[in-house]
Amino acid sequence: MRHQANVLDTILIITVGILISILTYLYVFEAYAFSDSFYIKHFKALKVDEVVGISTADLEKVTSELIDYINTGAGDLHVTATIDGKTVEYFNAKEQAHLNDIKNLIRDARKIRNNMLIITFVLGLLALFRMYKTINRLSKIFLSTVIASFITLILLGILYVSDFDMAFRKFHELLFYNDLWLLNPAKDRLLQMMPLEFFMTFTVYCLGTLFIINAVFLSIYLGIQWQYRRKSRMFF
């Protein structure tokens, strides 16, 4: 009976840890994906205004509408801007269709994330109920999270340094049922705004932030374990 209880606790620790790892990835992704300041900062670094032929003010306006659209659907994809002295609708029909796909994908992903959050909360409460007297064991959820995250970080890191372009294409082929994401850098301004270099930088920021968060998780785990061992030695 005790063995079965230990097995159940181990399953809970691993499951909750993996779920927290996935949720952390999703929230970090959203933090950067919907940050106007992140986009503008790196658009400046890539000299997007010069590439597109747009003013900084118009680029910021277009960026705000773009992010609002994929985030909540409130942005205007028919936003206009002055390009090389002419006022035009910034995104063409193909780009608008692709951005609509992205918005729908994010909406579906959030439904999955919210369900995952509920499951994690329920399983976390169950783990707390079962192991609240053994905090050192309960803290292994943090260790499980770190292990799951670092395995993923290593795999993503390998993809990043080996062939980011291939990984980027496979990612899009997996998520989108059409080829609207295959844009032309000569005429599609969305791709001019966000070339491969932009997504490489985005990935580095996400992976770097995830590394820091998991370092904090690991520190919490090690701190709890140190306190437990310290108290245990006091009784001998």
**pTM of the predicted structure, to 2 decimals:** 0.89
Q: CB of 88 within 8 A of CB of 80?
A: yes
pLDDT (tens, 9 = 90+) of the chain, 236 residues, equals: 555 667 888 899 999 999 999 999 999 999 999 999 999 999 999 999 999 999 999 999 999 999 999 999 999 999 999 998 899 999 999 999 999 999 999 999 999 999 999 999 999 999 999 887 788 888 999 999 999 999 999 998 998 889 999 999 999 999 999 999 999 988 999 999 999 999 999 999 999 999 999 999 999 999 988 887 776 665 54
Please compute Rg for the chain using Cα positions: 23
Sequence ranges of the domains in the chain: 2-234
Q: What is the 3 state secondary structure string of 118-131? A: HHHHHHHHHHHHHH
CA distance 233 to 229: 6
> Residue 157 burial (CB < 10 Å; 0-12/13-18/19+)?
middle
Q: CB of 40 within 8 A of CB of 60?
A: yes
CA distance 123 to 11: 10
3-class secondary structure, 179: coil
CA angle 213, 219, 224 (to 5 degrees): 135
Q: What Cα–Cα distance (Å) separates residue 148 from each residue in 14, 37, 49, 105, 209?
A: 9, 30, 40, 25, 16
